[in-house]
């Protein structure tokens, strides 16, 4: 039986409603990991370092999809909760049309800037060619990548989280199959990795687009829409934290790579790339839960149901605490196994990566609370507070730690920078929740 946004959520219903999105985020992370495994083992560590060097630039262009997806879904779900379904469909349609136009503009800009950006990030002659090849191919599929990011949130508002999961599984299987074909069988190198990813993004963006173009039995479908600057501004401010998170992660990744080149050379960049791939799987659980609960919070905020807001916050924090212990324990136990999947061919690199994963994994105890707090305020249509939390955890405290801790702890300081950032950001999250409890009545 389908669970609707308007229902009272028990633990069972909350888990059942969010589990498709959690699995979707984890599965998306897994096929990203498979990309890395094929590049590392079929093309080599230099190519793997090249892909990880240019990836932050590519992710910056994709952040607009996250911003309009999370911010727009908060606006749309709130509008549905207010009893205005037609207006909600107009907002949704306008945002999707706008994303297509933005994606086309960003594609042109990205192709022009990809070479100077690679050089600026420190790509040498050997790495530059791979950065250029991978980057240009991915940029060709940028519009569908942006749409795929946005539809992750809108499918939940449409009460179709399972459909989103099915799309994610299909695109993931296609990506992994094409990785094997293009890199292992056809020996296409990083071009094969980029093409496999791009084709999967094409499917992930087009299938939901076709779904929303038809009468689909959900609250959302694409209709005629007027340009509404106020609604666009509200969607942007709502989703500011998610965009800031992704922008900050890309910028911080560049700083990590620069520091690692200084302290450990290209091997450090490889180890960090592996941490990111592995981390996506663990953090994906928190992201999936937060994205899954956001439309529920947005709906009940629009309906002024403060008792359900209290219920959602209380249950969510308890579930995150349990999952945090499990995630951290698994990461510590599986660190060597996870590292060996990528770099079993190099004992020295294997040891470095194993230690890096174990130190970095301490952050999983805390990060779930910060991720949820940011998403919670986005759902309440308060993008400013959400952005403050995101800014503190993904940029401010990490930048400080990246430069301060290595001077004290050496290479270990780089791996522990995220732990430092999450601890201080947790204080920011707690203060934001406390100071705004009377305004929103969620406590």
Mean pLDDT computed over 299-312 = 88
Q: Cα torsion for 73, 84, 19, 341, to the nearest 10°?
A: -20
Q: How confident is the model at residue 325 (pLDDT cuts 50, 70, 90)?
A: very high
- Report whether pLDDT(361) > 90: yes
- Report whether pLDDT(426) > 80: yes
| % pLDDT > 70, the chain | 97
**pLDDT given at position 400:** 92
Rg, the chain, Cα only:
21
Residues 6+ apart with CB under 8 A from 161: 17, 18, 20, 21, 24, 155, 292
Give CA–CA dist 131/52, Å, rounded: 9
Least confident of 47-56, 347-356, 390-399: 47-56
Least confident of 48-52, 142-146, 427-431: 48-52
**pLDDT given at position 2:** 65
Q: What are phi and psi of 90, to 5 degrees?
A: -65, -45
Give CA–CA dist 346/332, Å, rounded: 21
**pLDDT given at position 77:** 85
- Report whether pLDDT(5) > 80: no
Give CA–CA dist 133/142, Å, rounded: 15
- Report whether pLDDT(412) > 80: yes
- Please name which of 25, 102, 8, 97 lies closest in space to residue 61, comparing C-alpha atoms: 102
The burial class, CB within 10 Å (0-12 / 13-18 / 19+), for 434 is exposed
| Counts of helices then strands in the chain (DSSP H, E) | 17, 0
Residues 6+ apart with CB under 8 A from 179: 34, 35, 38, 192, 193, 196
Give CA–CA dist 202/209, Å, rounded: 11
Residues 6+ apart with CB under 8 A from 286: 320, 323, 367, 368, 371, 372
pLDDT tens digits, one per residue of 166-218: 888 888 889 889 988 998 888 888 888 889 989 998 999 999 999 999 887 88
- Report whether pLDDT(1) > 70: no
Mean pLDDT computed over 419-443 = 93
Which range of 112-116, 156-160, 423-427 scores highest in mean pLDDT? It is 423-427
Is the pTM of the predicted complex or chain greater than 0.85? no
Mean pLDDT computed over 219-229 = 87
Concatenating the DSSP letter of every residue in 317-354 gives HHHHHHHHHHHHHHHHHHHHHHHHHHHTT-HHHHHHHH
Mean pLDDT computed over 335-359 = 87
Give CA–CA dist 25/383, Å, rounded: 22
**pLDDT given at position 434:** 93
Least confident of 10-19, 97-106, 114-123, 301-310: 114-123
pLDDT tens digits, one per residue of 87-146: 989 999 999 999 999 999 999 998 998 888 888 777 777 778 888 888 899 999 999 999
Mean pLDDT computed over 350-358 = 91
Instruction: HSE, CB side, 13 Å, CA atoms: give it for residue 399.
Output: 11
Higher local confidence (pLDDT), 75 or 31: 75
The burial class, CB within 10 Å (0-12 / 13-18 / 19+), for 133 is buried
* Mean pLDDT across the chain: 86
Angle formed by the axes of helices 45-81 and 142-157, nearest 10°:
40
- Report whether pLDDT(328) > 80: yes
- Please name which of 60, 114, 50, 117 lies closest in space to residue 273, comparing C-alpha atoms: 50
Joined tokens for residue 371: 């991720």
Are the CB atoms for 21 and 287 separated by under 8 Å?
no
Give CA–CA dist 75/382, Å, rounded: 10
- DSSP at 149: H
Give CA–CA dist 101/80, Å, rounded: 26
| % pLDDT > 90, the chain | 30
Residues 6+ apart with CB under 8 A from 222: 89, 92, 93, 96, 209, 212, 213
The burial class, CB within 10 Å (0-12 / 13-18 / 19+), for 311 is middle
């Amino acid at each position: 039986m389908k669970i609707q946004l308007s229902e009272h959520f028990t633990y069972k219903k909350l888990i059942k409603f969010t589990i498709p999105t959690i699995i979707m985020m984890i599965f998306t992370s897994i096929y990203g990991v498979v990309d890395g495994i094929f590049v590392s083992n079929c093309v080599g560590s230099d190519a793997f370092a090249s892909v990880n060097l240019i990836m932050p630039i590519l992710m910056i262009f994709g952040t607009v999809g996250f911003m309009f997806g999370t911010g727009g879904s908060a606006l749309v779900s709130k509008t549905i909760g207010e009893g205005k379904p037609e207006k909600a469909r107009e907002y949704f349609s306008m945002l999707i049309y706008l994303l297509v136009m933005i994606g086309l503009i960003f594609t042109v800009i990205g192709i022009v800037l990809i070479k100077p950006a690679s050089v600026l990030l420190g790509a040498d002659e050997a790495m530059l060619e791979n950065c250029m090849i991978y980057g240009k191919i991915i940029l060709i599929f940028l519009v569908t990548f942006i749409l795929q990011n946005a539809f992750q949130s809108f499918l939940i508002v449409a009460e179709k989280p399972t459909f989103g999961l099915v799309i994610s599984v299909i695109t993931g299987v296609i990506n992994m199959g094409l990785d094997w074909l293009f890199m292992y069988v056809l020996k296409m190198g990083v071009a094969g990795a980029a093409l496999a990813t791009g084709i999967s993004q094409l499917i992930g963006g087009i299938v939901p687009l076709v779904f929303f173009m038809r009468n689909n039995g959900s609250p959302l479908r694409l209709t005629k829409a007027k340009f509404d600057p106020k609604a666009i501004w509200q969607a942007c401010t709502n989703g500011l934290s998610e965009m800031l998170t992704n922008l900050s992660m890309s910028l911080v990744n560049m700083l990590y790579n620069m520091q690692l080149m200084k302290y450990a050379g290209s091997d450090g960049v490889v180890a960090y790339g592996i941490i990111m791939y592995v981390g996506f799987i663990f953090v994906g659980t928190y992201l999936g839960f937060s994205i899954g609960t956001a439309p529920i919070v947005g709906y009940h905020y629009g309906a002024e149901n403060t008792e359900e807001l209290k219920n959602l916050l209380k249950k969510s924090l308890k579930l995150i605490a349990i999952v945090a212990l499990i995630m951290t324990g698994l990461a510590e136990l599986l660190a060597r196994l996870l590292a060996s999947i990528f770099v079993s061919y190099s004992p020295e690199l294997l040891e470095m990566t194993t230690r890096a994963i174990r130190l970095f994994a301490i952050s999983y105890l805390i990060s779930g609370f910060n991720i949820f707090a940011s998403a919670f305020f986005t759902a309440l249509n308060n993008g400013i507070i959400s952005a403050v939390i995101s800014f503190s955890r993904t940029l401010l405290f990490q930048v400080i730690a990246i430069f301060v801790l290595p001077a004290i702890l050496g290479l270990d300081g780089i791996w522990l920078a995220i732990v430092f950032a999450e601890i201080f950001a947790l204080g920011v999250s707690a203060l934001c929740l406390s100071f705004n409890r009377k305004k929103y009545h969620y406590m």
